Structure 1
Amino acid sequence: MRKLKLAVLILFCLSFLSFPNWSITSAKSTTKKSSSIPSNQWKITGTVKGTGDVSKKFSIRPSNLKALKMGEDMKFEIKSTDKQLIYTLKIPVKKDSKKAEMFQYISSGEEEAGYFRVENQTYDAEKNLITAEVKGGGTFIVVTQPETPKSIQSLSPKTSAPSSKITSTPPAIFYLPHQDDETLSMGVAITQHLDAGREVIAVLYTDGAGSVAQRILNGEVGSSWWGGTHNPVTEGYNQIDNQKFSEARNNELKSALMQLGVKAENIHIRNLSEDGTLTLDELKTLVLEYEQKYPGASHKAMSQHDGSLSHALSGQALVDLYNQKGIVDARLYVSRNDWTRVTVGSIVTPNTDQAFRIKKAAFVYQAWNPAVESFAIGYHSVSPQFNSMLANIQNRQHTPAQ
């Protein structure tokens, strides 16, 4: 009996002694480790934190993404096998830059695909250096603006003459990055300008390509708004290519604008992204073209503070031109997607009739009838934004100084 008790005691002691070793091994496996960013063509430096052998879990390389090249000065991809890795990057940019910003390409879930500003970043103009923190990897671009912007004279079109149709009150010109921004973020302002007797001109400056909605419609990914995954064959339509997708989006835009009250002849499709690029100078030139045609016009664009690069570029174009006295009246509108982040400016609220027109414009974007190539693209793309807007129909606007 004593021998049995002794054996049990020995086994207990051995198991007790091995427990700390197990604990230490377990703790070591979860300890955060750091690795340096490897040498690369962009001279980006920094560290990566994570668990395990971090250095083998990521690489930095050129990106093959071409669909949304927007005048970037730098584009790269961080390829990662561990989405929990945290990257602290130091990114050198062009000398004498007035401003430099880093954006990440996002195309997942049911939000519109595009480049969106990385929130955790700072720019040191003296060192020409962006410091940014990102998680999980992805495709990134860096956009810079020169310290001395190009002169208005160098950008202004030479052939545009003032229109003979100009009335005593210049029009309000709304520059739209996507087919739905006019309803989601500018609808109140558009209806109020129209009700005040102002002529409203809407200028779409991209083709709207690159939206995740195109993949949803082609049955490549599902949609919680739709309640499943589309099957074009059984639903009676063919695969939707880029041209057909843009045409369908343009039809939604035109119908929505006419519900707001904009004349068909005042809806201008001016795609600046046909070659896959969209630059600040191109947008400035577009604005100056309309300013020459309609001297003293009111110019409206999305806010330069918006997270989406295609939004922010038009806002920055107005701010620069206003500061250079190339235009005399400018207002910026915050994307419904950025309301909780961008709080500058003031809130604009519609009257009952204006709100009703905005609701009807929103209905256009959920119309589903493939037989006439109506695909509810707006709601497939950003239904949460439509729901948010309809629950509280307001616009947030601000001045170039804000």
Structure 2
Amino acid sequence: MADRHFLHRFDSSAATGDGGPGYGPARWGRQEAAMVDSGGAGLSRRRVLTAGALAGATLLGTGLSGGRASAASAPAIFYSPHQDDEALGLAGSILEHKAAGRPVYLVLVTRGENDGLARRMNTDPCPMTTEDRRHPCVARGHHGLNWPTIPASASDSVIVPARTAEFMASAARLGVDKVINLKLPDSAWGGDDAFKKFTSTVKSEIASIADQYPGASHKFTAGWLEVSATHKAITDAAVQLAREGKLTDVRFNFVYAYDHELPDRSRGAAYVLNIPDAHMKTKLKAIACYNSWDPSKKLYALGYHSAPDKLEGAAADPHEYVFALPNNKYQYGDIGLENGPYGAKPQWGWS
């Protein structure tokens, strides 16, 4: 079947406010898009980004050898917990760093197993069309793919490569210089022991990447706000490494910000990235990779069938919300448990 997009959902015209009702950008005032410049007064955001590469160059003469990357071209490394997080809330920042001349590497942390998504794709007609017509299925409501779901792990053979195909298409749209696929099982959800084991594994992987690319900056998602065990575990690993001095340039993008009302999206943020029109058009193309139907390329619109509200929210908001290291109130562990101490709610006070 030809490559089809519901481009009216993620049309590039939304970047200039010309999209259909509800899908263009929020018409915010300048004060709502104000950027808190981490470099201090008089130092532009672009110069701060470029300075990151120059700071890396300072390390060039330290005798680091062989298999490590040249610190003169220290990359900005973005970590996407799952396939779609990069398009949701990292894309604008990726393009910002590319425009500043930084090499950008994109890390896919987990395999993104999801048997529930396989069951949804087996349903015909599609529940998205029959239950909520705000989210029409790009397959015109009919797929009935008959993917294996028993046992649950049987779906991995189709879900993982299909989700990763969407991710790779999105990464290509964003023009990243390198994709690193860690292929970790998405296993942070299995209780406290599983959460700690996953965190430890991720921490080791991040430390290895940091060692390979000295002087790099590292960009994660703000797991203390996103109420996802996987996101929080990756954030825990990053915070631990930063507090140990093994990561020295760390930021956290709030990729689930678009689930929240406008005031809460930037609550506690270090700065709000006002995405330029040209970059927003590219971000919309990356988002559209998750709403494309072309089985010959393993594209089944899985991202849109998984998180339509998040993707549409991100498509409608030409901003990204970037946080510094959380404060000393930050607690390690899963916040995604409804019966846990944090009640599966964002911990705004940790920002």
TM range (shorter): 0.5 to 0.7
Matched with 2:103 is: 199
Does residue 268 of structure 2 align to residue 344 of structure 1? yes
Distance between the aligned counterparts of 2:212 and 2:260, measured in 1? 33
Matched with 2:123 is: 219
Structure 1 residue runs of 5 or longer lacking an equivalent are 1-159
Q: How does 1:17-96 map to 2 (within 5 A)?
A: none
Q: How does 1:360-379 map to 2 (within 5 A)?
A: 360-379=285-304
State which of 306, 315, 318 in structure 1 corresponds to 2:235.
Answer: 315
Aligned residue identity for 2:223: Q
Matched with 2:147 is: 239
Alpha-carbon deviations, 1:100-156, whole Å to 9, x = none?
Answer: xxxxxxxxxxxxxxxxxxxxxxxxxxxxxxxxxxxxxxxxxxxxxxxxxxxxxxxxx
Alpha-carbon deviations, 1:51-82, whole Å to 9, x = none?
Answer: xxxxxxxxxxxxxxxxxxxxxxxxxxxxxxxx
Distance between the aligned counterparts of 2:314 and 2:299, measured in 1? 22
Quick one: structure 1 residues 355 and 229, their matched pair in 2 at CA, closer, same or farther if it must change by over 3 Å? closer
Distance between the aligned counterparts of 1:368 and 1:229, measured in 2? 12
Structure with the bigger RCO (C-alpha within 8 Å, sep 6+) is 2
Higher strand share: 1
Alpha-carbon deviations, 1:192-236, whole Å to 9, x = none?
Answer: 11111111111111111126432211118712424586442xxxx
Distance between the aligned counterparts of 2:300 and 2:141, measured in 1? 14
TM-score for the superposition, normalised by structure 2:
0.62
Does residue 170 of structure 2 align to residue 256 of structure 1? yes
8 Å CA contact retained: 2:105, 2:180: yes
State which of 303, 307, 328 in structure 1 corresponds to 2:248.
Answer: 328
Distance between the aligned counterparts of 1:329 and 1:374, measured in 2? 35
Matched with 2:318 is: 393
Matched with 2:222 is: 303
State which of 171, 174, 182 in structure 1 corresponds to 2:86.
Answer: 182
- CA radius of gyration, larger in: 1
More displaced, 314-323 or 341-350?
341-350
Does residue 296 of structure 2 align to residue 382 of structure 1? no
Aligned residue identity for 2:287: A
Quick one: structure 1 residues 311 and 357, their matched pair in 2 at CA, closer, same or farther if it must change by over 3 Å? same
Aligned residue identity for 2:127: G
8 Å CA contact retained: 2:259, 2:313: no
Matched with 2:184 is: 272
Distance between the aligned counterparts of 2:289 and 2:315, measured in 1? 13
Distance between the aligned counterparts of 1:203 and 1:373, measured in 2? 20
- Aligned residue-pair number: 237
Matched with 1:358 is: 283
Question: C-alpha displacement at 1:167, in angstroms?
Answer: 4.4
8 Å CA contact retained: 1:191, 1:354: yes
Distance between the aligned counterparts of 1:243 and 1:192, measured in 2? 35
Higher helix share: 2
3-state SS of paired residue (1:208): coil
Distance between the aligned counterparts of 1:197 and 1:334, measured in 2? 24
Matched-pair identity in %: 25
Structure 2 residue runs of 5 or longer lacking an equivalent are 1-63, 130-134, 149-154, 189-193, 327-350
Distance between the aligned counterparts of 1:230 and 1:283, measured in 2? 38
